[in-house]
Amino acid sequence: MSCSDIESPRSSSVDLGKADEAPSVQDSQLTLRALVSTKEAGVIIGKGGKNVAELRDMASVKAGVSKVVPGVHDRVLSVTGFLADVAHAYQLVAQTLVDNPLAVAIHGGMAPAPAQQTVVRILIAHNLMGTIIGRQGLKIKHIQDTSGARLVATKEMLPQSTERVVEIHGSVVGIRVAIEEIGKCLIEDWERGVGTILYNPATRVPTVSSNANPYVNNQRASVDFTHADSDRTGPAALSGPVAAAVAAMSRHRSHTRGIDPAVLMANIRTQQITIPCDMVGCIIGKNGARISEIRRLSGSRISIAKASESENGERLFTIRGSPESNERALYLLYGQLEAEHERRIANAHLMASLESINEHVIAEE
């Protein structure tokens, strides 16, 4: 079942052409995505799509589940509509999961949900996590107290994306209330969602929102998955952030040839992301070699806040360029972060193995 063929009676979106005007909670269309297992997806869709069709009608939303990918156990449920309708839709999803109990996927493994309770795993941009947590954790405490649900956020971003999983553990009604409170945060602080790289469980190029917010008033909300042709050669046949950046560079060159420089200047965008201080070194590289290469390949100007200006253990990166250039910069930056993360995990496993060997040798002596 594709996310691209979803309709509802109230699916019109508000135009975000005026980027300086904050959207209102009442008038904004919210897109909220959730990670589901293949078994959960089957229950949500129902036989012949019966359950998901009823979901759309009863909640007046767009809704769909990403296609099955061989060897991949995750799928993404995407729901778009007005805030109250999206919360209602996830209440119906939670009720469906309660009525059809499965081993619920949770961070770190599988576990059966308590009776009349379940878990919904929503996808939230890393940059929006601070909005949901709030100063000194007051916002997330309010959400949990109001809903009676428990929220658990993963520390790591999902592969080739800037999204994290927030698990909502609770009753059907509690999940609806928590979703509505979280949705308010996403809409009220919508600017932080700009530039989000959406998680795609398929081994394909992830979707990037370079000059729009994929959660709020996203007119292409039902088309979250970019399919790559398996028999294509050249840059697009590669995988990962670097391949996507190369392909984007080719598109950018063909699109900007012969365009008035004044038009290009008018299309300049500024985006900001935060990166943990302990990961900044891998982005900069020796004598600034890596960040210089990212600037050259992307065409964007990238400035980094001084270490003395860091907040909450994170440094601010400011990216300035055309939407296409900023998209390439984001791919390259997050690709470098992911590579460094994998390297650190490999080193940790190696050190653990060496320590185990040493302990074994000492014990034999």
CB burial readout 294-307, b (16+ within 10 A) else e? bbebbbbebebbee
Least confident residue range of 6-15, 29-38, 155-164: 6-15
Least confident residue range of 8-12, 43-47, 254-258: 8-12
DSSP 111-173: EEPPTTEEEEEEEEEGGGHHHHH-GGGHHHHHHHHHH--EEEE-SSPPTTSSEEEEEEEEEHH
Task: Identify the pLDDT of residue 76.
Answer: 94
- In this prediction, residue 274 has a pLDDT band, given cuts at 50, 70 and 90, of confident
- Which pair of structure tokens corresponds to residue 271? 């985006």
- Which pair of structure tokens corresponds to residue 160? 């080739």
Residue for token digits 């002596």?
365
Least confident residue range of 24-38, 113-127, 165-179, 262-276: 262-276
Phi, psi of 169 (to 5 degrees): -100, 120
pLDDT digits over 286-325, tens only? 899 889 989 988 889 999 998 887 777 888 899 999 888 8
Least confident residue range of 1-15, 119-133, 222-236, 344-358: 222-236
Please give the domain boundaries of the chain with CATH numbers for all domains: 29-102+115-193 (3.30.310.210), 269-362 (3.30.1370.10)
- In this prediction, residue 266 has a pLDDT band, given cuts at 50, 70 and 90, of low
- In this prediction, residue 19 has a pLDDT band, given cuts at 50, 70 and 90, of very low
Task: Identify the pLDDT of residue 218.
Answer: 58
Distance of CA 166 to the CA centre of its chain: 11
Best-predicted range by mean pLDDT among 12-21, 202-211, 293-302? 293-302
Mean pLDDT of the chain: 76
Task: Identify the pLDDT of residue 260.
Answer: 54
CB burial readout 72-106, b (16+ within 10 A) else e? eebbbbbbbbbbbbbbbbbbbbbbbbbeeeeebbe
The better pLDDT of the pair 90, 127 is held by 90
Question: What is the 8-class DSSP label of residue 12?
Answer: -
Averaged pLDDT for residues 322-330: 85
Cα separation, 280 vs 274, in Å, equals 10
